[in-house]
Amino acid sequence: MKIDTQLRDMDLAKVGQEALRYERMGFDAIWSFEAAHNPFLPLAAAALATQRIEIGTNITVAFARSPFALAQVAWDLQKASNGRFHLGIGTQVRAHVERRFSMPFDKPADRIADYIRCMKAVWESFQNDTRPNYQGPFYQFRLITPFFSAGPMDFPEPPIYLAGVNRRMCLVAGELANGFHVHPVHSVSYLRDVVRPTIDEGARAAGRSIDDLDLYASVFSVTGETEAERSANEQQIREQIAFYSSTPNYRAFLEHHGYHDLGKKLSNHMRRGETAEMAKLIPDALMEEVVVNVPAADLGSTLRRRYDGLLARVSLYTPLPVAAPELAWSAFVKDFQSTA
């Protein structure tokens, strides 16, 4: 199992040095995300500044751009990093895709499956100069000239990690992806009893198995030097879980743990703007399922034991603090790696 971390500073002038620090600490990969900034530009800087550490998006919104555009930037990052790039993609939700990105959103599972197939057709054309002839229900790739082809490289077809929570995305990942981004609102039992069997079902329909995919999860963990800091951090996590759980996508997870009405209650509070009330509805028992709350000295070994046999790679949900001491976090990495 690999231990990764999140990219904190998206400032292109600083990200190279940050990536070097993570490489020195021993982390296996750093992941960017698509929020206030483009997720790819920082990874280009990180790739050029480092030699070993892997890079990836967790996640980029696929439907915000065409399959060709995403295939192109992924190809360039894979080449620049000498094969260290992982393309993590997700669908986002209808409101953001339609009203923020001004792009179409319908049948997201079917659309993302078509999107992945189209990207792979582009990469096949780049690598082998094959004639483009892909026509799917949503996307097509049927025209290219040498002027527009990125050409072959030594590390073709960057691995695709599909993000998801529910059954349909798990099935698509099993069929078409190389990995799966497990949402931070998860539990060991949901991974074991729902996510992994469903991914395996999709994989076996394509002549594969779940062993052909790498599952990665970022994990909520309570941190802080003092009890007051830890308490404040725990409250922030509770609020974050409440926010995520207010959307319908997470109701299957809540129902898995027996909270059949919690999602609707949270949604009603969200619609009324009563965000301060939402965190109060998250039960302590659910927090124990989702959040790792142990002393800092035990964090690495706890993560390793908790996810052994379930994940191929794991990270903390939040980036390391700005002033994170290298020795302390190097010890965290070594503790994780040395735990059987």
Per-residue pLDDT tens over the stretch 170-224? 999 999 999 999 999 999 999 999 999 999 999 999 999 999 999 999 999 998 8
The per-residue pLDDT for 324 is: 82
Alpha helices in 59-181 (DSSP H): 67-80, 94-99, 108-128, 167-176
Structure confidence at residue 19 (pLDDT): 96
pLDDT at 322: 78
Nearest to 29 by CA among 74, 90, 76, 85: 85
Token pair for residue 219? Answer: 């994990």
Instruction: Read off the pLDDT of residues 18-28 as tens digits, 9 standing for 90 and up.
Output: 999 999 999 99
Tell whether pTM > 0.85. yes
- What's the pLDDT tens digit per position in 292-309? 999 999 999 999 999 999
Q: Where are the beta strands (DSSP E) in 19-61?
A: 29-32, 54-57, 60-61
pLDDT at position 241 over 90: yes
CA distances from 24 to 11, 172, 323 (A): 20, 36, 15
Whether pLDDT at 275 is above 90: no
| 38 C-beta neighbours (distance < 10 Å), count | 15
Q: Place 323 in a pLDDT band, splitting at 50, 70 and 90.
A: confident
Distance CA 326, CA 55 (A): 19
| pLDDT (tens digit per residue) in 129-181 | 999 999 999 999 999 999 999 999 999 999 999 999 999 999 999 999 999 99
> What is the rounded CA–CA span in Å between residue 248 and residue 270?
12
Determine the pLDDT at residue 245.
95
Give the tens place of pLDDT for each residue, 82-108: 999 999 999 998 999 999 999 999 999
Mean pLDDT of 59-63: 97
Rounded Cα distance between 43 and 34, Å, is 12
Question: 33 near 43, Cβ under 8 Å?
Answer: no
Give the per-residue pLDDT at 9. Answer: 82
Residue with tokens 């027996």: 258
Domains and CATH numbers, the chain: 2-224+293-338 (3.20.20.30), 225-291 (no CATH)
Q: How many other CB atoms are found less than 10 A from the CB of residue 238?
A: 22
Q: What does the pLDDT read at residue 237? A: 96
Is the pLDDT at 340 greater than 70? The verdict is no
Average pLDDT over residues 261-286: 94
Mean pLDDT in residue range 310-335 = 93
Strand 140-141 versus strand 29-32 pairing type: unpaired
- Torsion from C-alpha of 154, 157, 158, 161, nearest 10 degrees: -160
